């Protein structure tokens, strides 16, 4: 079956070639219908209006003598094809407004009043509302106003959405007989209603929602959506919100679209033809914007730590909130990043504009930024309009852990309300109070953990409520929903550092997490962890400012042999690393360092190295940063000599890194730190046969005095005016 439209200016004979029709004397607008059932014929009309009238006449050969509303399916298909042909011809040079006018002429039954649309709602119906920044604000306001004017029009309507950034008047008490909200994620405007029982919350991973719609476990009676204006083919775009909206439109009994010229046309799965929409309301209004507040120093510190974890050529997912978005702002020096994310944020778009994100190294969807929805500024929406490098796909694809895991070096960055000392976290509730929701966090963290070289990062400030509450807690409160289990999280990041949990036991996790908690809560966490038997009962701790990890002392150096090392102070959670370090030393190295035949290094002895009072001591580790793991190459320390304004210094380097400049860098840095402290020099006891250590001291150019006593040099080394470069 085919349909041909002939404009007045065209050659009818040429258009009718092959149909053997007599077209002599033809004037006006023509159509040709050919089919095995309908005999080839052509009809002439003065214009669209007369053609449309003809399509509705009972005398039309397509009506089989029946009114328009009762035509058979075959005739309906021909009429749809005719309408498409008409629109294709007439919209070639149309403006947006005239195109809508043409659509209205072709589908007048779709362009009805809001009251006419809402008259199709029946008591007990479920209405899906497009959500986030794609929320059809005018349609929802019109629905509320309709029930205000006609409060008995319908009752017990269930409204469903992911969440709203706008107002939620339908949760007001005056509408409790008409509406009840069921939210898949909880926003600021609906949180109170959910927690007082005036609205519902459905805890579900968003990737599962399209299946719930398709299987009609959650049936949809009407979908209220927002789209871009249609193109000349009648296709509209869901724009910045494809996520679960596409599935809702496919299963809803009735679909109503608010056509908004400010909605960008985005590529991917979000196209919907006007034929598949039941009602249309053209109404322009600004799209909702999601503006992240300027990050303070705490959030910036977290962002810098997160950036250290992310490798070049990684594919990233950035979750909801100020913390993940701030992390994106510190990725400007990375190369060839890719994006596969549920939420497309301003931060990611900024990286695309800078060329940091080019998607060239992605394992799947190469060259494309893939997302399910966008929340951002108007400038971001403008960037997305007709942009072929960005594709919005349905959420059951974007959030599918098996799809996510196909990306090499997939890195998921998310946040949480709190995390406990065993490594489980919540992003949805605290005790019996619901705060947010599951969303897509678990899908992405698990998908990233499964990916080759993948990483899952949980980033959060160490405290909440103006510093009065610790976000790192001994255990989650009773009734709290566990969003991420102990096996889902690789890294936890606060403004105090990074804790790597993957493969760590409970004791190691607890100590690493305490090390990045806010200092004023660390002693409390230590005591609570002891009560819960999470850590050693004799675990020591330096309270107050003297025990705070001095993050500013972290520095990267390159040795004379070209070895890159991170020099940093020791952390309270470093005991497992130091245990591995000391037991990897040869007997000779152990003897030269401790001048003892004792080779064991139990917990009690390790604490002497791992728990430091920074007011009187300094312990610096030379770290080789491996694949998701730190390796200690050397340890240097000094302890202040009381009343002498000097410090006793000692260090040891792992055998495989000896003669590579590690010892020189350690002593150089310890000297710099001691001079900053105002110390005048070092003292040391060194075995006479420990020539490597003696040579390092000599190379430093100290004013040295030494005295030999039973095979040991007692050394006094005063600083000259040396800098540290």
CA separation for the pair 134, 121 (Å, rounded): 22
Q: Is 628 left (phi over 0), alpha (psi -120 to 50) or beta?
A: left
H-helix segments, 238-386? 245-251, 297-309, 322-328, 346-354, 378-384
CA separation for the pair 452, 395 (Å, rounded): 22
* Residue 341 near residue 370 (C-beta atoms within 8 A): yes
CA separation for the pair 489, 30 (Å, rounded): 66
Residue 342 annotated as catalytic: yes
Q: Which residues does residue 227 pair with via DSSP β-bridges, in sequence order?
A: 259
CA distances 676 to 48, 464, 548, 628, 719, Å, are 87, 34, 18, 33, 12
Could you say which of 114, 135, 342, 508 is catalytic? 342
* Residue 455 near residue 309 (C-beta atoms within 8 A): yes
> Torsion angle, CA of 221/269/290/485, rounded to 10 degrees?
90
Terminal CA-to-CA distance of the chain, rounded, Å? 81
Look at strands 29-34 and 2-6 and give their pairing.
antiparallel
CA separation for the pair 194, 211 (Å, rounded): 25
CA distances 252 to 108, 126, 216, 223, 255, Å, are 21, 9, 10, 6, 6
Look at strands 235-237 and 200-201 and give their pairing.
unpaired
Per-position DSSP letters for 608-651, written without gaps between them: HHHS--TTTEEEEEEEEE-SS-EEEEEEEEEEEETTTTEEEEEE
- Tokens at 139, concatenated: 């349609």
CA 268 to chain CA centroid, nearest Å: 19
* Residue 688 near residue 717 (C-beta atoms within 8 A): no
* Residue 662 near residue 564 (C-beta atoms within 8 A): no
Helix (H) or strand (E) holding 141, with range, is: helix 137-149
Q: Which residues does residue 343 pair with via DSSP β-bridges, in sequence order?
A: 373
- Tokens at 144, concatenated: 């509320």
CA separation for the pair 31, 428 (Å, rounded): 59
* Residue 308 near residue 153 (C-beta atoms within 8 A): no
Helix (H) or strand (E) holding 369, with range, is: strand 369-374
* Residue 323 near residue 415 (C-beta atoms within 8 A): yes
Q: What angle do CA 363, 365, 368 make, to 5 degrees?
A: 120
Per-position DSSP letters for 552-571, written without gaps between them: GG-EEEE-TTS-EEEEEE--
Residues near 108 by Cβ (< 8 Å), separated by ≥ 6? Answer: none
- Tokens at 444, concatenated: 């992405």
The dihedrals phi and psi of 441, each to the nearest 5 degrees, come to: -60, -50
CA separation for the pair 695, 479 (Å, rounded): 62
CA separation for the pair 554, 556 (Å, rounded): 7
Residue closest to 496 by CA, chosen among 478, 475, 474, 471? 471
| Catalytic positions | 342
């Amino acid at each position: 079956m085919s349909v041909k439209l002939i404009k007045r200016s065209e050659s009818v004979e040429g258009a009718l070639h092959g149909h053997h029709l007599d077209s002599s004397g033809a004037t006006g607008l023509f159509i040709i219908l050919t089919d095995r059932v309908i005999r080839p014929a052509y009809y002439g009309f003065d214009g669209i209006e007369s053609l449309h009238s003809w399509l509705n006449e009972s005398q039309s050969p397509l009506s089989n003598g029946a009114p328009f509303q009762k035509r058979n399916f075959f005739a309906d298909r021909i009429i749809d094809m005719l309408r498409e042909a008409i629109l294709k011809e007439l919209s070639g040079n149309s403006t947006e407004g005239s195109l809508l006018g043409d659509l209205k002429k072709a589908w007048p039954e779709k362009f009805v009043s809001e009251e006419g649309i809402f008259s199709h709602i029946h008591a007990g119906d479920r209405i899906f509302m497009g959500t986030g920044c794609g929320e059809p604000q005018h349609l929802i306001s019109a629905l509320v106003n309709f029930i205000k004017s006609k409060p008995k029009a319908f009752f017990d309507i269930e409204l469903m959405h992911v969440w709203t950034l706008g107002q939620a008047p339908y949760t007001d008490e005056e509408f409790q007989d008409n509406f009840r909200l069921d939210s898949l994620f909880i926003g600021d405007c609906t949180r109170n209603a959910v927690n007082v029982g005036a609205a519902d919350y459905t805890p579900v991973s968003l990737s599962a929602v399209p299946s719930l719609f398709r299987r009609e476990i959650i049936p949809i009676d009407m979908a209220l959506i927002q789209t871009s204006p249609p193109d000349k083919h009648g296709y509209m775009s869901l724009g910045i919100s494809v996520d679960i909206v596409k599935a809702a439109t496919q299963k809803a009994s009735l679909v109503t679209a608010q056509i908004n010229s400010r909605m960008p046309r985005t590529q991917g799965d979000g196209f919907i033809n006007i034929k598949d929409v039941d009602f249309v309301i053209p109404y322009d209004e600004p799209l909702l914007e999601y503006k992240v507040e300027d990050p303070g120093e705490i959030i910036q510190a977290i962002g810098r730590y997160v950036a250290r974890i992310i490798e070049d050529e990684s594919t990233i997912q950035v979750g909801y909130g100020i913390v993940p978005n701030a992390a994106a702002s510190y990725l400007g020096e990375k190369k060839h990043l890719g994006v596969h994310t549920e939420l497309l944020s301003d931060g990611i778009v900024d990286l695309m504009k800078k060329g940091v994100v080019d998607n060239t190294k992605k394992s799947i969807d190469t060259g494309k930024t893939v997302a399910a929805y966008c929340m951002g500024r108007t400038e971001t929406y403008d960037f997305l309009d007709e942009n072929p490098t960005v594709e919005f796909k349905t959420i059951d694809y974007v959030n599918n852990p098996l799809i996510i895991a196909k990306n090499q070096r997939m890195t998921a960055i998310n946040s949480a309300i709190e995390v406990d000392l065993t490594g489980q976290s919540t992003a949805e509730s605290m005790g019996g109070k619901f705060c947010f929701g599951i969303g897509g966090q678990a899908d992405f963290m698990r998908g990233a953990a499964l990916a080759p070289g993948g990483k899952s990062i949980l980033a959060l400030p160490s405290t909440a409520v103006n510093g009065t509450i610790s976000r790192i807690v001994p255990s989650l409160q009773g009734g709290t929903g566990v969003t991420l289990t102990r096996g889902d999280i690789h890294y936890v990041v606060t403004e105090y550092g990074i804790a790597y949990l993957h493969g760590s036991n409970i004791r190691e996790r607890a100590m690493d997490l305490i090390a990045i908690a806010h200092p004023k809560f660390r002693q409390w966490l230590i005591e609570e962890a002891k009560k819960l038997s999470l850590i050693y009962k004799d675990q020591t701790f330096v309270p107050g400012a003297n025990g705070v990890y001095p993050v500013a002392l972290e520095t990267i150096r390159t040795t004379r042999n070209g070895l890159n090392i991170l020099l940093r102070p020791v952390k309270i959670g470093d005991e497992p690393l130091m245990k591995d370090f000391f037991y990897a030393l040869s007997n000779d190295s152990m003897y030269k360092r401790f001048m003892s035949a004792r080779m064991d290094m139990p917990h009690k002895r390790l604490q002497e190295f791992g728990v430091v009072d920074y007011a009187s001591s300094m312990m610096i580790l030379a770290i080789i940063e491996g694949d998701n793991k730190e390796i200690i190459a050397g340890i240097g320390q000094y302890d202040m000599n009381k009343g002498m304004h000097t410090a006793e210094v000692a260090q040891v380097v792992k055998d495989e890194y000896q003669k590579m400049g590690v010892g020189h860098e350690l002593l150089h840095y310890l000297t710099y730190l001691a001079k900053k402290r105002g110390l005048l020099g070092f003292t040391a006891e060194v075995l006479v046969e420990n020539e490597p250590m003696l040579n390092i001291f000599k190379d430093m150019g100290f004013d040295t005095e030494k005295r030999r006593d039973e095979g040991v040099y007692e050394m006094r080394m005063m600083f000259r005016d040396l800098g540290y470069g």
